[in-house]
Amino acid sequence: MILCFDIGGTAIKIAHAFARDDIRPMGRVPTPADDFTAFVGALREAIKAAPMRPERLAFSIAGVIDPDTGRATVANIPCLTGRRLQNDLEAALLVPVDLANDADCFALAESAVGAGRGHEVVFGIILGTGVGGGVVVRGELINSGGGFAGEWGHGPVAQRILTEANVTLPAFACGCGLTGCLDAVCSARGMEKLHAHLHGVQAESTEIVAGWEAGQVAESRTIAIWLELLSGPLAVVENMLGAGIMAVGGGLSNSKPLIAALDQKVRARILRRFDRPLIVPAECAIEPGLVGAAILGLGRRVASAA
């Protein structure tokens, strides 16, 4: 059995995984975000409550593991940041540990049991509070040792001068410390910032998307520019990866018309010609963080036994 954890800033979700088609969510407990001893204690309690001693512990975390140092950066869980997290957890819990960030786990889940089934290369896209992603090739994360692969939302690539729309945008500041990132202008919060810049009106991303779906003028202009900003970089990602499918999760994926519009825009800009959608809503029916962690742990179990 693999004991799986999806680590968030407020809650730790738990699951028992016996096989890819036998992953059992077991509820959640509060995250001790500021106290590593208490954090480890919460994990120990989950191990004690498991029906058997787990073979491995698999974690989905909302952060990044530096592939060179093994140190974690987890913005919303300060007690984990700066630690060589895999080493520290294995030393404390005496069970092999597998770690991946939440976007990578989402991509693994979609590749194994979601929209990416049957595709050699799957790109999992997050369009929500942030813009992120993960890359799975032949069932394995491309960055199996941790790292930043799939983080297409960061880097100063957001287009600022859109001639057809007759608009010039500022280089919006991003939380990563750079300016001009897609995350800063195409995430849900970025869409709201874009709408306010274009129209001087504050609105929630859900309201903007609903207004676009209803044909409202201001919202339609915002979404047209949002699609323009996002589709070019995403087309470059597709040309580079050759993904057979791009599965979208996050709050903005709840609008199927929005994802369909993004798919049409991107497919018009890539080298490969598809006679089917390339960009589709995610299909993993249960917690993708837990499912992805389970897939990770089950795969490492097989590899360690070989």
Going from the N-terminus, what domains does the chain have, and what CATH number goes with each? 2-105+286-305 (3.30.420.40), 115-281 (3.30.420.40)
Report pLDDT digits (tens) over 189-218: 999 999 999 999 999 999 999 999 999 999
The model's pTM: 0.92
pLDDT over 90, % of the chain = 84
pLDDT band for position 306 (cuts 50, 70, 90): low
Quote the Cα angle for 66-67-71, to 5°.
35
Least confident among 26-30, 82-86, 88-92, 164-168: 164-168
Q: How many CB atoms lie within 10 A of CB 177?
A: 8
On average, the pLDDT of the chain sits at: 94
pLDDT value at position 9?
87
Task: Kindly report the backbone phi and psi dihedral angles of residue 236, in degrees, each rounded to the nearest multiple of 5, phi listed first.
Answer: -65, -40
Q: How many CB atoms lie within 10 A of CB 216?
A: 15
Report pLDDT digits (tens) over 67-80: 889 899 888 899 99
From the list 57, 61, 124, 50, the residue with the least C-alpha distance to 92 is 57
Is 80 exceeded by the pLDDT of residue 133?
yes
Strand 161-162 vs strand 167-168: parallel, antiparallel, or unpaired?
antiparallel
Could you give the CA distance from residue 289 to residue 107 in angstroms, rounded to a whole number?
9
Instruction: List Cα–Cα distances, 289 to 16, 106, 295, in angstroms.
Output: 13, 6, 10
